[in-house]
Amino acid sequence: MKRIFIALKVNAENELLKMISSFKEVLRNDSVKWTHIENIHITLVFLGATQESTINEIIPVLSEKCSGYGSFQLILSGCGIFRSLSDPRIIWTGIQHSDKLTALNTSIISGLKGLNIKLEERPYNPHLTVGRIKSINDVRLLESLLVVYRNTVLQNVYVGEVILYESILLPSGPVYKPLAKFSLDKSY
């Protein structure tokens, strides 16, 4: 069994890095597990614990769904939290609406349904997880950061490939190991 997910790699730069640095600095006395910069990604589909035989069935589906899809651009913009200010859990960066991203997610999910894989039922909500909050001393500091960055355009992201990752959980934090990469521009 491997813990897997399908995602788009994001190379953080410019305003995104500044925003993350601001959050880390202002919340330095709080208990937040920050996402390592090299691990930043946009999840398309989280699959969790998956048998090796099923992974071998997923690879051709991803190859088919990605091949010839076409590369595209995304705009990272704004930030927010999951849950609420009274119980914040995840700090995230948003993604401006993209029909191409939504269609790619839908296409991959439709292919995976043919494999009888249990998929999440909730609607797709693309985002980048910046940090996971364990506890926070002064929620007003968090709120002030959310206001500052709420509508800030942070970065353009070129999307040229989809990656099937294994998530290896270690005490130092997760390691995301690429199992396969699928170009969006190639067509066979």
Residues 129-171 have pLDDT tens digits of 999 999 999 999 999 999 999 999 999 999 999 999 999 998 8
Q: Report if residue 7 sits inside a domain.
A: yes
Run of H or E residues at 170: strand 161-170
Average model confidence (pLDDT) across the chain = 94
CA distance 44 to 39: 15
Question: Above 60 in pLDDT, residue 117?
Answer: yes
Residue range 2-8: mean pLDDT, rounded: 97
Q: How confident is the model at residue 122 (pLDDT cuts 50, 70, 90)?
A: confident
Q: Report if residue 188 sits inside a domain.
A: no
Q: Report if residue 144 sits inside a domain.
A: yes
- Tens digit of each residue's pLDDT (9 = 90 or more) over 14-63: 899 999 999 999 999 999 999 999 999 999 999 999 999 999 999 999 99
User: The pTM is what?
Assistant: 0.93
* C-beta of residue 127 within 8 angstroms of C-beta of residue 95: yes
Question: Above 90 in pLDDT, residue 118?
Answer: no
Tokens of 162: 């989809």
CA distance 84 to 88: 5
Question: Above 90 in pLDDT, residue 173?
Answer: no
Question: Above 70 in pLDDT, residue 188?
Answer: no
Domain total in the chain: 1
Tokens of 8: 């788009």
What is the predicted pLDDT for the residue at 14? 87
Q: Report if residue 60 sits inside a domain.
A: yes
Run of H or E residues at 47: strand 41-50
What is the predicted pLDDT for the residue at 187? 58
What CATH code is carried by the domain that includes residue 53? 3.90.1140.10
**Domain containing residue 10:** 2-183
* C-beta of residue 91 within 8 angstroms of C-beta of residue 26: no
Q: Report if residue 118 sits inside a domain.
A: yes
